[in-house]
Amino acid sequence: MVRVPKQIMNELLIELYSEEIPPNLQVNAKEYLEQKFKSFLEIEEINYNQIKTFSSPTRLIVIIKGIPSQIKIQPKEIRGPKAEINDEILLKFINSNDLRKEDLYKKKTEKGEFYFAKTKTKEILVENILQANIPKILHSINWKKSMKWSNNELIWGRPLRSILAIFQSKVLNFNLSHIKSTNKVIIEQDLFLKEKTISSFKEYKKIMKQNNIVFDQEERERKILNRFNSICKSKNYIDDIDKKLLKEVVNLVEHPNVLMANFDKKYLQIPSEIIIATLKTNQRYFPLFNNKNMLTNNFLIVSNKPDKKNLIKLGNKRVVEARLSDAKFFWDKDKSKNLIKQINKLKDIMFFEKIGTIYDKTQRLRKLAGFVSDELNINKEKVEVAASISKSDLSSDLVREYPELQGVMGKYFAISQGFEEDVASAVSEHYLPIGNDSTIPKKPISFTISIADKIDSLVAFFAINEKPSSSKDPFALRRSAIGLLRIIIENKLNLKIKDLINYDIRILEEQGVKILNENADVEVLNFLKDRMRNILKDKEIKFDIIEAALSSHRGDNYFDLFKKNVLMNKYIKKEMGINVISSYRRAYNIIEKEGKNIEGRPDAVLFRKDEEKNLFKKINEIRKEFTVRDKNKDYENLLKNLSETKQYTDNFFNNVIVNDENKDIKNNRLELLKMFCNTFNNFINFSKLEGK
């Protein structure tokens, strides 16, 4: 906030009144306007005390307080055209900057000789600056979805009806396309419009209050929450409102009224997820749960007006029950359809044109999941059954009506048809995680199919060159990659991803998919490595440790990579880490200086001192530890052994002269140090660590 000198301060009030704008568009526009006005005022060096923005379905409001009436522009040196330019261009420069010819002087620069001038101190009316720039700011709003209407050229989120603009208690005159600014507020009541003339934000707030319009989104949220909490307390319900839905509903109303309605209890017999989806996704209502966390037949509606005659409540009850009646019909019909027999129907559902149908994907999942089960020693028969029916619910009427319930309904169908619980759960849980912070599948069959599903999506789209770009990821491959890595890391799985990728490519080719990207296998591994960087950052691993670990990672065991990062981050400032880095640096500095081209291995016959022999022996002991199978590696103990080399390197450097007169002995010692550094780099590339 800029400090303002004592003088008459003014407020700028802008209200953009339109037809109802969807919640996400209005919130984005509100945030954009606040940022844009702040930036504009700083650039123009206009001081202010406070800026606030508000949004409602039909109104975007900006209020800026503490603006001076005029500002003083300090003198500054400005550069004009080159000295050899013709008089016509020079005259334009003089006129455009309000100069006289005698104000000009020449000055040499690196780019040649130019005319220069010093501007004079001048005072400018802020009103003029605002009039010139506000239309540009408003035109610059980047609507994700916008529209034009009638014969007008203006593009807006929804048709813009009016612009209220007041500065210094009077209209700030400007045009935005066909709309001229005014000092009148439009109020719509029962389809009738009325106008009120105002001259201040105080009057604006008063009129809004008189007409029951809550333009402050935070106040609307408080009103809804208070009423919600009051109802839950009186009914002994769980007080846990869906925050995401709340944010949306807050921006659907201007006069929030919370109503409690209900539906027939008979519908509680169908799966609760169907009811919740009906209420939340389809109707934007809030389901209510009793103190045992059981769904009740009551729900909350946030309406835009009071419901004195219960007409809103009854109308919404009828709408909800009609939808639940349809859902119950679909549920009763679909749950009896044999999931195995539904697999063939997946041939009619396209996954992606160049990749094939959902049926094709299911066949790949069955084979890939079987491969993973062999690797992880998980019941292969159960895994293949679960993979086979994992997408069968996509052919059901219920999932077509409620696509967000794919997998969830499949689990219910599987249970009702007698499939074992872990197989049924895998049908639902293989879609997890659905976001960076959501839970991952923990049951073996579930995470096996989830791994196969995510690998297949990554490989298939990379194989046909449908890869994410810097700005677009239409198939959510980044989310799939992060989900895959989280499953591996959080379930502590030692899994060879490269073999799985190559196996999937072979299956795709067998299915007749044309492989358009011959480097798909390498690119998927690199893509996973880049996503691993994000995961490690979220775990607050130091940046240089991440780069050191990733640059040395040549395999495809991401759980190993994660463990090494966590351990190094834990010990880097402790004695163990300090010793490791100290030992490595002493050797690495010599190699960098003198032995960059050393490629051979040290010859024990050329060792002349015990310190050489001891260091060589210690290195070989550590090298053996790196050859242990991944699942048996104890990285903490390995780091401890790396740390213990400090006494060997100290003895070596204290008693051995690397730069021996005998060239063979010198090269042999350099080869020993190179071997030492290479051994350490099997853990992470220690040369990438900063300031050590």
pLDDT digits (tens, 9 = 90+) for 660-691: 889 889 889 899 999 999 999 989 999 999 75
Rg of the chain over all Cα atoms, to the nearest angstrom: 35
Query: What pLDDT was estimated at residue 570?
Result: 93
- Share the mean pLDDT of the chain: 92
Query: What pLDDT was estimated at residue 73?
Result: 80
Q: Taking phi first (over 0 means left), then psi (-120 to 50 degrees means alpha), and beta for anything else, what does residue 205 get? A: alpha
CA dihedral 590, 592, 593, 598 (to 10 degrees): 90
Query: What pLDDT was estimated at residue 288?
Result: 97
Say how far apart CA 635 and CA 130 lie, in whole Å: 64
Rounded mean pLDDT of 271-290?
Answer: 96
Say how far apart CA 429 and CA 443 lie, in whole Å: 9
618 and 645 in contact (C-beta within 8 Å)? yes
Beta strand 286-289 pairing with 295-303 = antiparallel
Say how far apart CA 613 and CA 332 lie, in whole Å: 78
Long-range contacts of 234-237, Cβ-Cβ distance < 8 Å, separation of 24 or more: 235/288, 235/298, 236/290, 236/291, 237/288, 237/289, 237/290, 237/291, 237/296, 237/298
90 and 115 in contact (C-beta within 8 Å)? yes
Task: Specify the range with the lowest mean pLDDT, choosing from 274-283, 530-539, 548-557.
Answer: 548-557
pLDDT at residue 630 is higher than 90:
no
Rounded mean pLDDT of 651-657?
Answer: 91
Tokens standing for residue 586:
């002493």
Tokens standing for residue 330:
């679909």
Q: Which helix (H) or strand (E) holds 113?
A: strand 112-118
291 and 243 in contact (C-beta within 8 Å)? no
pLDDT at residue 457 is higher than 50:
yes
Say how far apart CA 623 and CA 609 lie, in whole Å: 22
pLDDT at residue 290 is higher than 70:
yes
Tokens standing for residue 503:
């196996």
Coil/strand/helix, residue 303:
strand
Say how far apart CA 577 and CA 566 lie, in whole Å: 12
Give percent of the chain above pLDDT 90.
Answer: 76
Coil/strand/helix, residue 140:
coil
pLDDT at residue 96 is higher than 70:
yes
Band the pLDDT of 151: cuts 50, 70, 90. confident
pLDDT at residue 340 is higher than 80:
yes
Band the pLDDT of 433: cuts 50, 70, 90. very high
Strand partners, 160: 18
413 and 339 in contact (C-beta within 8 Å)? yes
- What burial class does residue 257 get, using C-beta atoms within 10 Å of its C-beta: 0-12 exposed, 13-18 middle, 19+ buried? middle
CB atoms within 10 A of CB 228: 21
All domains in the chain, ordered by first residue? 9-71+125-210 (3.30.70), 75-120 (no CATH), 217-324 (no CATH), 339-538 (1.10.3210), 565-688 (1.10.730)
Structure-token match 């309605």, residue found: 261
Query: What pLDDT was estimated at residue 604?
Result: 86
Band the pLDDT of 2: cuts 50, 70, 90. very low
* Packed helices 520-538 and 444-463: angle between N→C axes, nearest 10 degrees: 130
H-state helical runs in 119-178: 126-139
Tokens standing for residue 297:
């037949």
Band the pLDDT of 598: cuts 50, 70, 90. confident
- What burial class does residue 77 get, using C-beta atoms within 10 Å of its C-beta: 0-12 exposed, 13-18 middle, 19+ buried? exposed
Closest CA to 513 of 476, 466, 463, 474: 463
pLDDT at residue 631 is higher than 90:
no
Say how far apart CA 153 and CA 155 lie, in whole Å: 6
Strand partners, 112: 109
Closest CA to 550 of 527, 518, 583, 520: 527
Closest CA to 502 of 639, 331, 371: 371
Rounded mean pLDDT of 645-650?
Answer: 92
Amino acid at 667: N
Query: What pLDDT was estimated at residue 8?
Result: 66
Give percent of the chain above pLDDT 70.
Answer: 98
Rounded mean pLDDT of 156-170?
Answer: 95
Band the pLDDT of 4: cuts 50, 70, 90. very low
Query: What pLDDT was estimated at residue 435?
Result: 83
Looking at the chain, the number of H-run helices and the number of E-run strands are 25, 19
Rounded mean pLDDT of 290-305?
Answer: 95
pTM of the model: 0.82
Task: Specify the range with the lowest mean pLDDT, choosing from 95-109, 254-268, 314-328, 465-479.
Answer: 95-109
Say how far apart CA 350 and CA 678 lie, in whole Å: 50
Rounded mean pLDDT of 27-35?
Answer: 96
Query: What pLDDT was estimated at residue 634?
Result: 87
58 and 156 in contact (C-beta within 8 Å)? no
pLDDT at residue 7 is higher than 80:
no
252 and 23 in contact (C-beta within 8 Å)? yes
Rounded mean pLDDT of 299-308?
Answer: 93
Rounded mean pLDDT of 352-362?
Answer: 96
